[in-house]
Amino acid sequence: MNPYHGLWLKAQELMPGGVNSPVRAFKSVGLDPLIVSKAKGSKIYDVRGKAYLDLVMSWGPLILGHAHPEILKAVKEALEEGSSFGALSHREILLAEAICNALPSLEKIRFVSSGTEAAMTAIRLARAFTGRDKMIKFEGCYHGHSDFLLAKAGSGLATYSLAGSAGIPKEVLKSTLVLPFNDWVALEKTMNRFGREIACILVEPIPANMGLVFPEKDMLKTLRKMCTQKGILLIFDEVITGFRVGYGGAQELYHVQPDLTILGKIIGGGFPVGAVGGRKEIMDQLAPLGPVYQAGTLSGNPVAMAAGLKTLEILKRKGAYEKLEKLGATLAGGLEEILKKKKISFQLHRIGSMMTLFFNDRPIENYQDVLQCNTEKFNQFFREMFRKRIFLPPSAFETWFLSLSHSAQDIESFLKAADQTFKAY
């Protein structure tokens, strides 16, 4: 038996679906999954030693690339001092200061261990602060896998055509109002009917879990205005966009300050971390100051804090975001040229180092538009690129990520593989 295949069979015997997160199974693209042994820079290696050009980058956090030497050094120093304390450490304070300085909407911050945990905490805070129960989220926006947020949540759910999840009582979802993204009519009707019952509006300012979709002009500013008028808290989920689309995140890009912000991915430099931050009077509702309970043994883990501090330090250096923009523009421009030459219908959405290729001839503005895309064409594209050692997210409903470790030669290799792939279409 092929040792690689034997390892995959063993994984399926030991773990549900053989994986610890659904999209890793490659089920939707019809292949056995990548089983990784190591990674360095822009490359990821399977257990056979085969190298792949990586555009997944651990789903976004590795903005510096795999095993960055300065991150390794910072992590080693932190590990030598202890891996977990169960007490306040100096690095938590330093990273909190760095993040609050980067995002003016954050006056205080609470570290947790994942984006899911941060979203749960933000909503609990909003409900306690406003005294209201209902919340608004948008179709295709993913905010983690807590019960009341798994309603038309995009990401892996879209991949497997699920509208929610088994095991969630219907009563739990009654307080979650789900609206189409970029739909002003639905938003206005909902606000008019339930405005004084709504605690918060939770939104990815640039949705990146149904593929990359952009807000309509002034959408975020209008949301801010509506929330202020009706006493609703505006929560930005910047788990993906935070420090990715710019040092100040999407809120800096669009000049909109939310009441609360959810962060993750990059602020841990590749280690598990999440955070919620915002206005002082809201954040002070958290225990031990206020009545909103939240706790975590591994929150503010010193190793993750060290990696996050070093990541933010590197991103502040001159030219970091300019390089990411150049890499993204070169890859997207080259790919568009190939697709037009082959006369293939597509929509390519990009901002900085993030992008998604949709196989569709109509504009993509919301989750329903995304669901109309040709997923079989994407699956064919994925399989051919994977055979050419290009590792893309194994789903038509995800975002691709570049890093500072990617080179002009990497982009050239990607475009060459794409050109060869589309010749077969």
CA pair distance 44, 391, nearest whole angstrom? 8
Is the dihedral angle over the CA atoms 204, 205, 208, 212 positive or is it negative? positive
Instruction: Kindly state the tokens that stand for 41.
Output: 């820079």
CA pair distance 275, 1, nearest whole angstrom? 45
For tokens 């602060």, name the residue: 129
Identified catalytic residue from 237, 259, 369, 410: 237
Residues 393 and 355: beta-carbon distance below 8 Å? no
Instruction: Kindly state the tokens that stand for 52.
Output: 């792949």
Identified catalytic residue from 134, 137, 265, 377: 265
205 by DSSP, 3-state: which?
Answer: coil
Decide if 237 is catalytic.
Answer: yes
Strand locations in 41-157, DSSP E? 43-46, 51-54, 108-112, 134-138
Radius of gyration of the chain (CA): 21
Instruction: Kindly state the tokens that stand for 51.
Output: 């190298």
CA pair distance 403, 220, nearest whole angstrom? 27
Beta bridge mates, 109: 277
Instruction: Kindly state the tokens that stand for 9.
Output: 């069979």
Decide if 147 is catalytic.
Answer: no
Decide if 142 is catalytic.
Answer: yes
Instruction: Kindly state the tokens that stand for 169.
Output: 């009582």
Q: Which helix (H) or strand (E) holds 381?
A: helix 375-387
Residues 337 and 325: beta-carbon distance below 8 Å? no
Q: Choose among 98, 122, 97: nearest CA to 274.
A: 122
CA pair distance 114, 143, nearest whole angstrom? 11
CA pair distance 285, 291, nearest whole angstrom? 6
Beta bridge mates, 233: 200
Q: Is 112 exposed, middle or buried (0-12, 13-18, 19+ CB in 10 A)?
A: buried
* Neighbour-count burial for 268-290, b at 16+ CB within 10 Å, e otherwise: bbbbbbbbbbbbeebbebbeeee
Strand locations in 115-197, DSSP E? 134-138, 176-179
Q: Which residues are catalytic?
A: 142, 237, 265
